[in-house]
Amino acid sequence: MESNGTKGLVLDEPLIFEKSSPGRVGIGPAHSDVPESDPKKTLGQKFLRDDIEGFPDLSEMDAVRHYTRLSQWNFGLDSGFYPLGSCTMKYNPKINEAASRLPGFAQLHPYQPEDLSQGALELMHSLEAYLSEITGLEAVTLQPSAGAHGELCGLLMMAAYFKAKGKPRTKIIIPDTAHGTNPASSHLAGFKVVPVKTEGKGALTVEMVKAVMDEDTAGLMLTNPNTIGLFEKNIKEIAEVVHSKGGLMYCDGANLNAIMGLVKLGDIGVDVVQLNLHKTFSTPHGGGGPGSGPVCVGKALEPYLPCPRIKKENGKFSLDFNRPKTIGRMKSFYGNFSIMVRAYSYIRRMGGVGLKRATEAAILNANYIKERLKGTYHLAFDEPCMHEAVFSDKFQESCGVSTMDIAKRLIDYGYHPPTVYFPLVVHGAIMIEPTETETIDTLDRFIDVMKTIAEEAKTNPQILKEAPTKTKIRRVDETRAAREPILRWKK
């Protein structure tokens, strides 16, 4: 198998601080058109600082070269196939970037008068309506900054709901397949986590929930499709169990891209869901954010949505702060607006039909990979999958090769590895999410490479253990990073 990874000139680059030369000027601020105020006199010496020790001084071009070189050590979605499971690395349309940078969006102050912000409010209002339509839930807040932030928001609303009923509830049920943010957010919202073991079943059963659901339990936090890439088939019946005890159904909607246009969460008993615009709605991940994590809720939770909400009256948009039951705010201002612009732009480009097509194509691509790799790698659950397929290193273990080795070897072939060692319930998990924006040719090449690596595991395992060799650096010593922490540059 030929590798995509080839040689190129990669330049070394020191830390920015090591390139600094005191006195060198980059981009100075504007000339002043007002009399200079002497800080010593205006503020007094006690408030003033000395020089900023170690702060770098570079020419503009050296700064640009610095970051350009750094960027070349990165692998982005635009560089190549990035099948990171659960993360939905679909194409980030360039038109969305352009739209978000229009001065009429980028240069708005959050406190400028509503009259001057009608376009922004209209966009947010429409986006809320689209997300409401897609999820089948009545009301939406766009305030949370990311998935985990949305989870916290939704869970706090649940807590407020029970408190208002005069019967606060203390627990929440979370299956062992859940993302780490689910229990972490639950804890922060004040709930004790009741874990449910799915015992290698793949899907949650009604019995599993029945066994733990009681009237001290606020509800169930379920990812659907779950992190194994399977639709929770019993969700309607499970929701009935939860509801019969007065509980609420929380859905982690990070995997909405697998059901958008096919299933409305509100129709199947979900009361509250957070969406990751940086997954399903094509906004970029930025090397770790910013994202956006809107929360959609049914009628029962609507009064508790964070403040402010966007209101439309007589064709005019405004911010509504008069919400007596609100949980308060999750952050300052109204949310990650420029990410909302991108998601809105995506939805308008795709249209209702296009969104459904995207879902179908994502399912097609994932099943294609699942079918074609299933003899070569151990498939955790051999049934039709949704948007991702979870394999493991079970077949390769006897060669002394682990999931990590397979992942690192993929890099030498020019691919970003899949998500590894998650979900935790699958030992040595290899979670592959191709997304709908990849061609079948890309998938074919990737599949061939995966097969070649499986062969290499048998015939030459050392080559996997040594991988990657073509990257700028080889495997890093993560233990040392934690044992002898260096978290900043020092002179």
Partner 1 sequence: MPYIPHTAKDIEKILKAVGAGSVEELISQLPAASRLKGPLAIPDGLSEQELLGHMKALSSKNSTVEEYSSFLGAGAYNHYIPSVVDAIISRSEFYTSYTPYQPELSQGTLQAIFEYQTLVCQLTGMDVANASLYDGATAVAEACLMAKRITNREGIVLANALHPEYRETVATYLTGTGDHLSTIDYSATTGATSLDAIESAISDKTACVVIQHPNFFGSLEDIEAIAGVVHKKKALLVVAVTEAVSFGLLKSLGDCGCDIAVGENQSFGNSLSYGGPYLGFMATKTEFIRQMPGRLIGQTVDKEGRRAFCLTFATREQHIRREKATSNICTNHGLCALAASVHMVSLGSGGLRKLAALNLSKAEYLKKKLKESGVEAAFTSPTFNEFTVKVKGSPDGVLKKLLEKKIIGGLNLEKYYPELGNHLLICATEMNSKEEMDALAAALK
Ligand X SMILES: Cc1ncc(COP(=O)(O)O)c(C=O)c1O
Regarding 99 and contact with partner 1 (CB under 8 A), the answer is yes
Regarding 184 and contact with partner 1 (CB under 8 A), the answer is yes
The residue with tokens 């009064």 is 303
* 354 interface partner picked from ligand X, partner 1, none, CB below 5 to 8 A per type: partner 1
* 66 interface partner picked from ligand X, partner 1, none, CB below 5 to 8 A per type: partner 1
Contact string (CB under 8 A) for partner 1, positions 234-263, x = contact: -xx----------------------x-xxx
State the minimum distance, in angstroms, from the CB of residue 183 to ligand X: 11
CB 390 within 8 A of CB 426: yes
Regarding 164 and contact with partner 1 (CB under 8 A), the answer is no
Number of residues that bind ligand X (CB under 6 A): 13
CB 415 within 8 A of CB 83: yes
What number of residues does the chain have?
A: 491
State the minimum distance, in angstroms, from the CB of residue 336 to partner 1: 4
**DSSP code of residue 84:** B
Regarding 6 and contact with partner 1 (CB under 8 A), the answer is no
* 213 interface partner picked from partner 1, ligand X, none, CB below 5 to 8 A per type: none
Residue type at 165 in one-letter notation? K
Map the footprint of ligand X across residues 170-199, applying CB under 6 A: 179, 181
Regarding 418 and contact with ligand X (CB under 6 A), the answer is no
Who's near 299: CB < 8 A, 6+ residues apart? Answer: 138, 139
User: What six digits make up the tokens of 59?
Assistant: 């020419």
Map the footprint of partner 1 across residues 329-368, applying CB under 8 A: 329-339, 341, 345, 347-358, 360-361, 363-365, 367-368
**DSSP code of residue 397:** G
User: What six digits make up the tokens of 125?
Assistant: 């209002």
State the minimum distance, in angstroms, from the CB of residue 432 to ligand X: 14
User: What six digits make up the tokens of 446?
Assistant: 């990737």
User: Quick one: 46 exposed, middle or buried, by C-beta within 10 A (0-12, 13-18, 19+)?
Assistant: exposed
Map the footprint of ligand X across residues 235-274, applying CB under 6 A: 252, 254
In this complex, which beta carbon is closest to ligand X, that of residue 171 or of residue 179? Answer: 179
Map the footprint of partner 1 across residues 393-422, applying CB under 8 A: 407-408, 411, 416-417, 419, 422
In this complex, which beta carbon is closest to partner 1, that of residue 295 or of residue 347? Answer: 347
Map the footprint of ligand X across residues 131-170, applying CB under 6 A: 146-148
CA distance 184 to 172: 12
CA distance 17 to 399: 45
Write phi, then psi, for 316 (nearest 5 degrees). Answer: -115, 140
CA distance 450 to 376: 8
CA distance 432 to 228: 10
In this complex, which beta carbon is closest to partner 1, that of residue 410 or of residue 457? Answer: 410
State the minimum distance, in angstroms, from the CB of residue 50 to ligand X: 39
CA distance 19 to 39: 30
Q: Using CB under 8 A, which of 1, 2, 3, 54 touches partner 1?
A: 54
Write phi, then psi, for 378 (nearest 5 degrees). Answer: -70, 125
Cβ neighbours around 482 below 10 Å, total: 8
Regarding 206 and contact with partner 1 (CB under 8 A), the answer is no
State the minimum distance, in angstroms, from the CB of residue 146 to ligand X: 3
State the minimum distance, in angstroms, from the CB of residue 263 to partner 1: 5
User: Quick one: 242 exposed, middle or buried, by C-beta within 10 A (0-12, 13-18, 19+)?
Assistant: buried
Write phi, then psi, for 162 (nearest 5 degrees). Answer: -70, -35
Q: In the complex, which residue's CB is closest to ligand X?
A: 147
* 67 interface partner picked from ligand X, partner 1, none, CB below 5 to 8 A per type: partner 1
* 3 interface partner picked from ligand X, partner 1, none, CB below 5 to 8 A per type: none
In this complex, which beta carbon is closest to ligand X, that of residue 229 or of residue 414? Answer: 229
* 252 interface partner picked from ligand X, partner 1, none, CB below 5 to 8 A per type: ligand X
How far is CA 448 from its chain centroid? 28
* 432 interface partner picked from ligand X, partner 1, none, CB below 5 to 8 A per type: none
Q: Which one, of 208, 174, 211, 209, lies nearest residue 191 by Cα? A: 174
Q: Which one, of 274, 260, 251, 265, lies nearest residue 145 by Cα? A: 274
Q: Which residues contribute to the site for ligand X (CB under 6 A)?
A: 86, 146-148, 179, 181, 223, 227, 252, 254, 276, 291, 293
